[in-house]
Each structure stands twice: as structure tokens, then as C-alpha cells.
């Protein structure tokens, strides 16, 4: 997920709250996380790690720090975020080479560290959450604000993120500025506990679905192999027509098309529906359209 909004709009706070709606680590996940953190020397007193990882590296992090490396090929941030969240704040400020190095772990769920005399592979299946300002000034697109550099400020800033990496973000969300009036409003009726319950139920449905298909190691729609995607997501009627039209008009890549199907399937699971309808397909497509802040 990529969140775009001006400074102080709550992007970092939203990312920090995401672990509260995720289900607890399963026993096998707990062991995987604990072993990786043990190799990195991050387990205090040898205790098992029971919380889902939340890694938030600084934008000055090197490729070795992100992917892993060193004399003993220790795990990097992507492996330390396994079964958890990797949060990249100020995304365009990261080195382009570091950002592009994330593409392989995102696709394969593994971080491969190759050396002259050995090769080490760490599991690295994580949720990538990123946040960025719409431009270097941070306020492009806000009512009443005119950037001195004009549209080029936003265009140059956003160009630091490559197209292939941007294509891997299933959700692109605009986070508007928060005013003092917004802070005075009553809290939402649905908190983390209620959202977390829906997430746990949806994950339970997904795990049972893949288990019935003989895919015991797959527990979420995001992990579904490309060959199985159209078996778990079969939109029909208006939903299928909408998807076909959007795929052509938006020039979706094969990866983008499959990610839309996975996201629509997840939205249907959260809503308790058998198959995605027009509403889920439209919402999934809407998340892939560049938000107003991303339009130069």
C-alpha cells in the first residue's frame, strides 16, 4: 500500500496501527520470525518473538541493510519484516537502487544474498507499506497552496519511484490533510478490535479455501499462485464486463490484472460474499488509479 499526503496528515500513524488489526502469529510463523531475529541477534535473552514484525528503516538505509549482507550474510530489513510489515516512510528519499532491490523479494517472498563462496536465502514475505509527500515541498494539490516550482516539483519527486515498483502497489491511497475541525469530531464507531475481527475471519476463509485446493502453504490471497488466481476469483456479468473494459482502458500489465483480481477477492472475503461483484471490482480498480496527488 502507498499512502500519499501532506506532512502531518497521519500517514505514519496509520502505518503504525496496522499491526493491531492483523491476526496473531501462527506457531509456524512465530518460529520463522524468531529464527530470523535470532540470526540477526535481536532476540532479548533468547525469548521467542510473539509480535508481528514492524520494521521502519530510515531512508538512508543501504542495499545491504535492506536486503542483507555483511561478512556472515545477516538478514536485512526485508527478512526481519517476514510475516509482518515493512514500512518505508518518505519513499522517494530512498536510493533508487535500494527501492528497485525490493522488487525481487516482493514477488518471490525471499531475500537472496549471493557471495563468492556461498549463497544464503532468507524468507521475506512481508506487507510493504509506504508513505510519501506529493512533492518535495509537501503540499502539492492542497487548496490555496501554489508551489513555487509548479507541477515540475511533483513530477520530479515522483519520478524517483520506478514504474515497475509502483506497479507492485495494490493500494494507492490519498491521505488528506487533517484540520483542527477534524480533530474535534467524535471517534469512529469501528475501532481496531472490530476491524481486526473482520480481518481474522477473512483470513480464516482464505486459509480454508486454499487448503481445500491442496495449497497448504498458502494462507492469503496475496500468496495465491498466478495459475490459481482465476479459479478463486470468477467475476461474472457486469463485474466481468467492467474488469475487461478497465483492463484495456487502463492498459493493465499481467501483474496488475492479477493483483486487481486478488484485491477484489479479498474485498469480497471481507464483505462475506462468495464472488466479487461490480462493487468489489470497481473498488479494486480504483485503488490502482493514481490519486490526485500523484498526477503531475
CATH number at residue 104: 3.40.50.300
Considering the domain architecture, whether residues 99 and 21 belong to the same structural domain is answered as: yes
Read off the pLDDT of each residue in 144-170 and give the average, rounded to a whole number.
83
The answer, yes or no, to whether residue 137 has pLDDT greater than 70, is yes
Round the average pLDDT of the chain to a whole number and report it. 88
* Predicted confidence band of residue 143 (pLDDT cuts 50, 70, 90): low
Considering the domain architecture, whether residues 173 and 60 belong to the same structural domain is answered as: yes
Read off the pLDDT of each residue in 54-70 and give the average, rounded to a whole number.
93
Considering the domain architecture, whether residues 117 and 69 belong to the same structural domain is answered as: yes
Read off the pLDDT of each residue in 27-42 and give the average, rounded to a whole number.
92
Q: Is residue 223 part of a domain?
A: yes
pLDDT at 153 (0 to 100): 83
Considering the domain architecture, whether residues 144 and 233 belong to the same structural domain is answered as: no
The answer, yes or no, to whether residue 50 has pLDDT greater than 90, is no
Digit-coded pLDDT (tens) for 239-267: 999 999 988 888 888 888 999 999 999 99
pLDDT at 295 (0 to 100): 45
The answer, yes or no, to whether residue 83 has pLDDT greater than 70, is yes
With cell 493500494, the residue in question is 171
Considering the domain architecture, whether residues 152 and 199 belong to the same structural domain is answered as: no
Q: Is residue 185 part of a domain?
A: no
Phi-psi region of 56 (alpha: psi -120 to 50; beta: other; left: phi over 0): beta
pLDDT at 58 (0 to 100): 95
Angle, alpha carbons 278-281-285 (nearest 5°):
135
Digit-coded pLDDT (tens) for 194-245: 999 999 999 999 999 999 999 988 999 999 988 899 889 988 889 999 999 9
Read off the pLDDT of each residue in 25-45 and give the average, rounded to a whole number.
90
Rounded to whole angstroms, the Cα distance separating 132 from 212 reads 40
With cell 563468492, the residue in question is 116
Considering the domain architecture, whether residues 139 and 271 belong to the same structural domain is answered as: no
Considering the domain architecture, whether residues 208 and 164 belong to the same structural domain is answered as: no
pLDDT at 191 (0 to 100): 85
Q: How far apart are the first and last CA of the chain?
A: 20
Considering the domain architecture, whether residues 148 and 219 belong to the same structural domain is answered as: no
Digit-coded pLDDT (tens) for 98-112: 999 999 999 999 999
Rounded to whole angstroms, the Cα distance separating 7 from 11 reads 8
Q: Is residue 186 part of a domain?
A: no
Considering the domain architecture, whether residues 119 and 144 belong to the same structural domain is answered as: yes
The residue among 95, 65, 93, 91 whose CA lies nearest residue 77 is 65
* Predicted confidence band of residue 141 (pLDDT cuts 50, 70, 90): low
The answer, yes or no, to whether residue 80 has pLDDT greater than 90, is yes
pLDDT at 117 (0 to 100): 74
Considering the domain architecture, whether residues 50 and 148 belong to the same structural domain is answered as: yes
The answer, yes or no, to whether residue 292 has pLDDT greater than 70, is no
Q: Is residue 184 part of a domain?
A: no
The answer, yes or no, to whether residue 172 has pLDDT greater than 60, is yes
Last residue of some domain: 178, 205, 232?
A: 178
Q: Is residue 66 within 8 Å of 57, Cβ to Cβ?
A: yes
Q: Is residue 183 part of a domain?
A: no
Last residue of some domain: 178, 209, 228?
A: 178
The answer, yes or no, to whether residue 63 has pLDDT greater than 80, is yes
pLDDT at 155 (0 to 100): 84
Q: Is residue 103 part of a domain?
A: yes
Record the cell numbers describing residue 144, joined without a space.
490555496
The answer, yes or no, to whether residue 174 has pLDDT greater than 80, is yes
Considering the domain architecture, whether residues 122 and 221 belong to the same structural domain is answered as: no
Rounded to whole angstroms, the Cα distance separating 157 from 170 reads 21
Read off the pLDDT of each residue in 57-72 and give the average, rounded to a whole number.
90
**Number of structural domains, the chain?**
2
Q: Is residue 145 part of a domain?
A: yes
Q: What percent of the chain has pLDDT over 90?
A: 56
* Predicted confidence band of residue 290 (pLDDT cuts 50, 70, 90): low
Q: Is residue 44 part of a domain?
A: yes
The residue among 279, 284, 223 whose CA lies nearest residue 252 is 284
Give the domain extent around 159: 2-178
Last residue of some domain: 156, 178, 200?
A: 178
The answer, yes or no, to whether residue 187 has pLDDT greater than 90, is no
Considering the domain architecture, whether residues 153 and 218 belong to the same structural domain is answered as: no
The CATH code of the domain that includes 273 is 1.10.8
Amino acid at each position: 500500500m502507498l499512502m500519499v499526503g501532506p506532512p502531518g496528515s497521519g500517514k505514519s500513524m496509520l502505518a503504525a496501527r496496522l499491526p493491531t488489526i492483523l491476526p496473531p502469529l501462527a506457531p509456524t510463523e512465530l518460529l520463522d520470525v524468531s529464527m530470523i531475529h535470532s540470526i540477526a541477534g535481536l532476540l532479548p535473552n533468547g525469548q521467542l518473538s510473539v509480535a508481528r514484525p514492524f520494521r521502519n528503516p530510515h531512508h538512508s538505509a543501504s542495499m545491504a541493510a535492506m536486503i542483507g549482507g555483511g561478512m556472515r550474510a545477516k538478514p536485512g530489513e526485508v527478512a526481519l519484516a517476514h510475516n509482518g510489515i515493512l514500512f518505508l516512510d518518505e519513499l522517494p528519499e530512498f536510493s533508487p537502487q535500494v527501492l528497485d532491490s525490493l522488487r525481487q523479494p516482493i514477488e518471490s517472498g525471499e531475500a537472496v544474498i549471493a557471495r563468492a563462496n556461498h549463497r544464503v536465502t532468507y524468507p521475506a514475505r512481508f506487507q510493504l507499506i509506504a508513505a510519501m509527500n506529493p512533492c518535495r515541498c509537501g503540499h502539492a494539490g492542497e487548496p490555496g497552496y501554489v508551489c513555487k516550482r509548479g507541477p515540475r516539483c511533483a513530477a520530479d519527486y515522483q519520478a524517483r519511484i520506478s514504474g515497475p515498483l509502483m506497479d507492485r502497489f495494490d493500494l494507492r491511497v490519498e491521505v488528506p490533510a487533517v484540520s483542527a475541525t477534524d480533530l474535534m469530531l467524535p471517534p469512529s464507531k469501528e475501532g481496531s478490535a472490530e476491524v481486526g475481527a473482520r480481518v481474522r475471519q477473512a483470513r480464516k476463509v482464505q486459509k480454508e479455501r486454499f487448503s481445500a485446493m491442496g495449497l497448504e502453504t498458502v494462507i492469503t490471497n496475496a500468496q495465491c499462485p498466478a495459475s490459481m488466481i482465476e479459479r478463486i476469483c470468477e467475476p461474472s456479468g457486469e463485474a466481468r464486463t467492467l474488469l475487461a473494459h478497465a483492463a484495456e482502458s487502463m492498459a493493465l500489465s499481467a501483474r496488475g490484472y492479477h493483483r486487481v483480481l486478488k484485491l477484489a477477492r479479498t474485498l469480497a472475503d471481507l464483505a462475506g460474499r462468495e464472488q466479487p461483484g461490480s462493487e468489489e471490482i470497481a473498488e479494486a480498480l480504483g485503488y490502482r488509479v493514481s490519486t490526485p496527488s500523484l498526477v503531475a
